[in-house]
Amino acid sequence: MFNDKSILVTGATGSFGQMFVKTITERFNPRRVIVYSRDEWKQSEMQKDKAFTQGQVRFFLGDVRDKDRLCLAMRGVDYVIHAAALKQVPAAEYNPHEFIKTNVDGATNVVEAALHAGVSKVIALSTDKAVNPVNLYGATKLCSDKVFVAANSYGGESGTIFSVVRYGNVVGSRGSVAPLFANQRETGSLTITNPGMTRFLITLQDGVDFVLQCLEQMVGGELFVPKIPACSVADIANVIAPDCKWNTIGLRPGEKIHEVLIPEDESRNVLEFDNHFVIQPIQSFWGNKIGVLGGVPCSEGFKYASNCNCDNLTVEELRVLLSDFLPPPQSS
């Protein structure tokens, strides 16, 4: 479905965006892949990589806050992947208006531009922090999720459909715990919020693969959640820095002890598949087609969290997943 198609990725200079562009140009033969982002320096750095110098990759400067620019960029586009967002939790608390402009108003602009351009499919990236949010970043992403699901009401004759993908921590992403522990290992001491804290872990490539799968399967209105393994922060610390002391500092503002991808309140709307779940919309006011996908309804009160109804990573599995952050082998 991606051959000879035009695909636009917002926030494509980020970690996910770069991996997505690289994957889709390696596996398929798209007509165009448009890198849409507001940072000219990141775009120039990206263009130095041979993986992005193929003829299909186009670089388009623009901000999701600018609807006119989005409309221009989406002309003739078949699929849109919306990955642009402001994400830093502490920054959101201090600059709420900026996060609302990008994460909420920007989502609305993407929807309206896609409808105006007659895009076929739009899929947006969400986060576990959008579930029962305790910080402003999570609240803006929850609003964004609702905007994209409700957008299916406006597809009309263009037939544009919208869905959302939600998953947990990406291994080794900027600001995550694995690179932090690897850096702190040199000091002999780690700062740990809570050893019993648990987190889902997914690789960047697995995240991209899941989005590609969802793009293929989506019929509009779904919120896709992959089945991914979890572990405790103590497990990560023991694998990356086994000889270090721990300095337990407690939860930071806006943090949760466990990640929740599907809350109990939504259990009645959840369908389970072999490798993922689908959360159906609370109201199918545009006509719900999700039933054609199949799936098994989850029981009342079902919850999918990093300490509940998920697989736990073994030490060996965690070592493979965190191989880039392990201490160097000791010479004999």
Backbone dihedral region for residue 247 (phi beyond 0: left; psi -120 to 50: alpha; all else: beta) = beta
Residue 195 · residue 227 · CB < 8 Å: no
Return d(Cα 306, Cα 308) in angstroms, integer.
Answer: 6
Sequence-ordered alpha helix ranges (H) in the chain: 15-27, 40-47, 67-73, 89-94, 96-99, 106-117, 136-150, 177-184, 204-217, 233-240, 315-321
Return d(Cα 285, Cα 283) in angstroms, integer.
Answer: 6
129 is catalytic: yes
Return d(Cα 309, Cα 64) in angstroms, integer.
Answer: 36
Which residue in the list 129, 227, 256, 303 is annotated as catalytic? 129
Those residues whose C-beta lies under 8 Å from the C-beta of residue 232, and which sit 6 or more positions away, are 195, 196, 197, 198, 199
Return d(Cα 241, Cα 66) in angstroms, integer.
Answer: 45
Sequence-ordered alpha helix ranges (H) in 39-185: 40-47, 67-73, 89-94, 96-99, 106-117, 136-150, 177-184
Q: Among all residues, which ones are annotated catalytic?
A: 129
